[in-house]
Amino acid sequence: MTPSQTVPSPPKINADGTTAQELYDKCLALAHNLWWSWTPEVSSLFRDLDPVRWRQLDHNPIALMKEFTPDRLDLRAAEMVLYSRINHAYRRLKEYLGSKQTWGSTHAGVLGARPIAYFSAEFGIHESMPIYSGGLGVLSGDHIKSASGLGVPLVAIGLFYSQGYFKQQLDESGYQSEEYIDTRIDNLPMQPAVDEEGQPIMVSMETRSGNLVAKVWKMDVGRVRLYLLDCNVEGNSPEDRQLTSRLYGGDTRTRIRQELVLGVGGVRALRALGITPGAYHLNEGHSAFGPLEVIRGRMHDDGMTFDDALREVAQNTVFTTHTPVPAGHDRFDEALVEEHLGPLRDQLGISYEQLLGLGRVEPQNNEETFCMTVLGLKLSRRANAVSQLHGHVTRRMWAHLWPWRVEEEIPIGHITNGVHVQSWLAEQMRHLYDRYFPSDWADRMGAAEVWQNIHKVDPGELWETHNALKTLLISFVRRRISRQCRRRGESEEAVEHARNLLDPGVLTIGFGRRFATYKRAHLLFADLDRTAELLNHPEHPVQVIFAGKAHPKDEPGKELIRKIANLRHDPRFAGRLAFIEDYDINVCRHLIQGVDVWLNNPRRPLEASGTSGQKVILNGGLNCSILDGWWAEAHDGSNGFAIGHGTSHVSDEITDARDGQYLYETLENQVVPLFYRRDVDGLPREWIRMMMNSIAGLAWRFSSDRMVMDYTRTCYVPAAGGLSCEMP
Ligand SMILES: *Cc1c(COP(=O)(O)O)cnc(C)c1O
């Protein structure tokens, strides 16, 4: 030690009176509430501390802060004049957490100290928190962010996956390989949840084959607390310690055990935490065992019979179903159900047949496997699908549960999904809105009138802003593709080619989503010659950016990726196609902020809602989509493009062939001409008008603020015992 270090120096105090340690602690406090992730002033603060490391560390502020000591932070803050920004951000966080005047305080008052308990198997909040795989998770993340912003009392329950979902890489032949990486827990904004004595909370689930235990983590997402159950603890067998390590990994036994932990374990965790929910929201069937545990509690505490308790608990329960694809509904064999629910069934005092009957459309039908969606529908008084069209499909799909009712009377409504505006809106676009929208617009993003102000924006300015974002997207694509080439050991020439891929002046189409076959990523390649012509038109060229993962066991999906990724070797498509590996929230954000057109061509009516196209709207991109999911109720002829007329043939082959034709016709006759039709100033006036119509009419309708307000009014408040409001 040098002598100077042995003498404690007085704490350094900077210009505005904060010590280096205080400054550091403020940054840590900001990093420990995921509020930072949708608050651009705060995320840009972390970025500015060290832009290179910020990117390398997957935009993880806790990992970033570990690379600083208080003194180094102080030095950097001085260099960058960050003091006032840090202090301001910290003050804003405190104000946000402390504010009492919210939409929820007026509209969800009945909930009071009894929050909604929102259960979901995945939460997509930010790329640095890898506990999501795709749409369902991102929806849950957006749901709780909006609940936070609106001040709706809500706690969320999920699972902690220590390896998350896989990282995708493509080999030379375009084949997907999957890599699972251990997440460093100390880099995540999580703490063990503790009871009143400060002891870590553990929950235990009995099964016929032994006990399962889980610890409970807590995480702050703005004003919402998210609890995550984790089986990697002492007391579990080595195999069970891996139970919650991966999303949607393993076999059906893994799946039912994960769902036991999520549903039953989640309800037990809430009890251990001293939280009494006003109502339960099961986001998808994965958590549908939960209400059985709530019923057990009511029987035990209040001496109710099973039937009475079921009626009351169902009254408190809201169930959302998300898929019209049959394989999307979890089904379990009798033996697995008895192994895992047997001990709980004993306590409920119901028979083997009675329990199985709760998961069957026809309770006595031994041929029927136990279905979590059926269980969810039977244990909830309010159920909903996630778009208007999906509502029809779902009512028809489950009509036999209510054989005496006509379709319109099937008690399943719909609340169309939406996206969290602050999370998906580009900074440049927000600055534009800030100048033309009312000053409090950020607090009223779910209100229609706010967005009408887009018509006041100068068309040239909107176009310029959009083009700046498109340029950013293209440099992102070039960076990622050249990195991919380098990793595969490709020639210097190939890497160089990747560095110049795509052209900012060209109409740019984006396609990013899971590679499930019904989403038909290959539809654009039904006729390769026609596609080549479209892409290489001498005056009106087109370029396309793809991204997406296939489920590890979905070989046909992987084959689709291989086909599309390999087209880059076809000289007809050189420079006009890009496939970005490892689709995640970060890749999605870049894509939806920079594309001209977002392409969505699923086989109708299999896309329950879809949300990625809603993110595009906010940033001025246009949707070009089959009339399925949310787009079937959004498209009005002036706010984007419809592929086909919203019909499907019973034969998939015929449907695909027709839709392929429609896709080419829509692109060739509508999208491309409109994009390249310029006025004397070089502006595509009609295109810009369409962008404005899309923003004005759709941004608020398909925001998660509107969605959470709908859930609150039509489901949460009545389920918690307040006055009822009808769902559409
Ligand atoms: C928004 C989002 C999705 C959902 O989009 P879809 O339209 O349902 O495909 C999936 N994955 C990620 C990473 C997203 O951000």
Instruction: Write down the pLDDT at residue 722.
Output: 73
Instruction: Write down the pLDDT at residue 2.
Output: 46
Separation between Cα atoms, residue 579 and residue 417, nearest integer Å? 27
Instruction: Write down the pLDDT at residue 90.
Output: 97
| Helix (H/G/I), strand (E/B), else coil: 55 | helix
Sites in the chain below the pLDDT cut of 50:
1-5
Domain residue limits, the chain = 20-98, 103-417+709-719, 443-702
Q: What would the two tokens of residue 29 be?
A: 């406090």
* CB neighbours of residue 261 within 10 Å: 26
Instruction: Write down the pLDDT at residue 17.
Output: 72
State the distance from the centre of ligand 1 to the C-alpha of 367, rounded, in angstroms. 36
Q: What DSSP character marks residue 638?
A: S
Angle in degrees, CA 445, 459, 537, rounded to 5 = 110
Contact partners, residue 280, CB within 8 Å, separation at least 6: 116, 117, 119, 290, 291, 294, 313, 316, 317, 318, 719
Average pLDDT, the chain: 95
Residue among 658, 640, 661 nearest 648 (CA): 658
Using one digit for the tens of pLDDT, what is the confidence trace for 41-64?
999 999 999 999 999 999 999 999
Instruction: Specify the pTM.
Output: 0.96
State the distance from the centre of ligand 1 to the C-alpha of 370, rounded, in angstroms. 29
Residue among 315, 252, 255, 325 nearest 286 (CA): 255
Residue located via tokens 């390649």: 525
Separation between Cα atoms, residue 639 and residue 305, nearest integer Å? 54
| Nearest atom of ligand 1 to the alpha carbon of 615 | 1
Helix 70-80 vs helix 40-49: crossing angle, to nearest 10: 110
Instruction: Write down the pLDDT at residue 13.
Output: 61
Query: What would the CATH number be for the domain defined by 103-417+709-719?
Result: 3.40.50.2000
Nearest CA to ligand 1 atom 8: 610
Using one digit for the tens of pLDDT, what is the confidence trace for 413-440?
999 999 999 999 999 999 999 999 999 9
Exposed (0-12), middle (13-18) or buried (19+): which is 272, by Cβ within 10 Å?
middle
State the distance from the centre of ligand 1 to the C-alpha of 124, rounded, in angstroms. 10
Q: What would the two tokens of residue 244 be?
A: 């919650």
| Helix (H/G/I), strand (E/B), else coil: 488 | coil
DSSP for 220-286 reads EETTEEEEEEE--STTS-HHHHTTTSSTT-S-HHHHHHHHHIIIIIHHHHHHHTT---SEEEEESGG
Exposed (0-12), middle (13-18) or buried (19+): which is 480, by Cβ within 10 Å?
buried
Domain 443-702, architecture per CATH:
3-Layer(aba) Sandwich (3.40)
Pocket test for ligand 1, best of 122, 133, 138, 601 (most atoms within 8 A of CB): 138
| Nearest atom of ligand 1 to the alpha carbon of 607 | 8
Nearest CA to ligand 1 atom 9: 513
Instruction: Write down the pLDDT at residue 1.
Output: 40
Instruction: Write down the pLDDT at residue 405.
Output: 93
| Nearest atom of ligand 1 to the alpha carbon of 419 | 1
CA distances from 438 to 80, 432, 454, 510 (A): 31, 12, 11, 31
Contact partners, residue 250, CB within 8 Å, separation at least 6: none
| Nearest atom of ligand 1 to the alpha carbon of 585 | 13
State the distance from the centre of ligand 1 to the C-alpha of 134, rounded, in angstroms. 5
Instruction: Write down the pLDDT at residue 408.
Output: 87
Pocket residues: Cβ below 6 A from ligand 1: 134-135, 138, 513, 583-585, 588, 610-612
Residue among 348, 357, 380, 351 nearest 206 (CA): 348
Nearest CA to ligand 1 atom 3: 135
State the distance from the centre of ligand 1 to the C-alpha of 584, rounded, in angstroms. 8
Nearest CA to ligand 1 atom 1: 612
Q: Report the Cα 96 to chain-centroid distance in Å.
A: 23
Instruction: Write down the pLDDT at residue 414.
Output: 98
| Nearest atom of ligand 1 to the alpha carbon of 609 | 8
Pocket test for ligand 1, best of 511, 588, 630 (most atoms within 8 A of CB): 588
Q: What would the two tokens of residue 158 be?
A: 């999920």
Pocket test for ligand 1, best of 127, 165, 325, 513 (most atoms within 8 A of CB): 513
Do the first three CATH levels of 103-417+709-719 and 443-702 match, i.e. the same topology? yes
Exposed (0-12), middle (13-18) or buried (19+): which is 442, by Cβ within 10 Å?
middle
